Homo-oligomer: A and B are copies of this chain.
Amino acid sequence: MGSSFGQLFRISTWGESHGGGVGVVVDGCPPRVPLAAEDLQVDLDRRRPGQSRLTTPRQEEDRAEILSGVFEGQTLGTPIAVLVRNRDARPEAYEDFKDVYRPSHADYTYQAKYGIRAWMGGGRASARETIGRVAAGAIARKVLEMHGYGPITAWVSRVRDTEARVDPLTVTRADVDAGPTRCPDAEAAAAMEAQIDEARRAGDSLGGTVSCVALGVAPGLGDPVFDKLEADLAKGMLSLPACKGFEIGSGFAGTRLKGSEHNDAFYAEEGQVRTRDNRSGGVQGGISNGEPVVIRVAFKPTATIRIEQETVNQNLEPARLAASGRHDPCVLPRAVPMVEAMVALVLCDHLLRQKAISKP
Contact = CB atoms under 8 A, between A and B. Distances in A.
A160 B252 CA distance: 10
Interface string A1-45: 111110110101111100111110101101110000000000000
A165 interface: no
Contacts of A103: 263-266, 275
Contact of A113 (B219, B230, B235, B271): B219
A209 interface: yes
Contact of A356 (B222, B285, B305, B353): B353
Interface in A91-135: 101, 103-106, 108-110, 112-118, 123-125, 129
Nearest to A280: B104
B359 A32 contact: yes
A307 interface: yes
Contacts of A148: 360
Nearest to A316: B268
Contacts of A110: 224, 285, 287
A312 B67 contact: no
Give the copy number: 4
A211 interface: no
A290 interface: yes
A188 interface: no
Contacts of A353: 1, 8, 356
Contact of A76 (B16, B147, B231, B264): B16
A128 to B, nearest CB: 11
A207 B27 contact: no
Given A125-B285, A207-B254, A356 B352 contact: yes
A336 B49 CA distance: 43
Contact size range, A: 35 or more
A13 to B, nearest CB: 6
Q: Taking each of A78, A199, A309, which has the highest tally of chain B beta carbons within 10 Å of its own beta carbon?
A: A78
A61 interface: no
A50 interface: no
A301 B78 contact: no
Contacts of A207: 254-257, 259, 262
Nearest to A22: B68
A116 B273 CA distance: 16
A118 B32 CA distance: 12
Nearest to A120: B71
Nearest to A203: B260
A154 interface: no
A224 B104 contact: no
